[in-house]
Chains A and B, each alone.
Chain A
């Protein structure tokens, strides 16, 4: 096993920034080409007219999951070395709700607002400005929330530990769930389709 490359000292911090920048540019370009830089397309998600976001999210989950597991299976990737964002259950639920409300109101999520700004969309820029302002307010009032941000700590929570199943079985269940989501999304799209005028 010799990956993640960074953890096995194939390159230093400086090179990792360069690699991150290249991947980031490709990611942003792909998002924009997929139509994610357009608030109208993103907002249609919430009217069940265009479920592209949901499909892309589940495709990304399945591709990344299968890729990680297959690389591990052939002995290339050491899964233990991958950084997992620790779970703080309650603050993450609250944060998710706030972010969802912001998504419905503003028509972007933080990442897609940057994509929209990059193509010069004014609503995207306003969204970024609002997000930065929100960060400032949060940072300045952080002592008020500090204790709350540490609640519900679950460590590196994983589905495999929670369900007590092997990673392969969990992967199979996630794939089944993704297929169900794809199928359901298409049904919703057909049902709520708006006739083009």
Chain B
């Protein structure tokens, strides 16, 4: 997804009380090439795993990444 967006991190303003799934929709509109990757991505808010209907609090650090493969 980093390749589709062309940035490692971005800072953006979003509507108050936005849910994870709405943020993905906004990102897909802004970065159409990332649409497919966005569907499969895991999401974290402030370093905890987050899910479609979770609300993103003010000033949150949100990360989107593939299924982990450490070891």
Q: Report if A and B associate in a common complex.
A: no
**Chain B contacts to A: CB under 8 angstroms:** none
**Chain A contacts to B: CB under 8 angstroms:** none
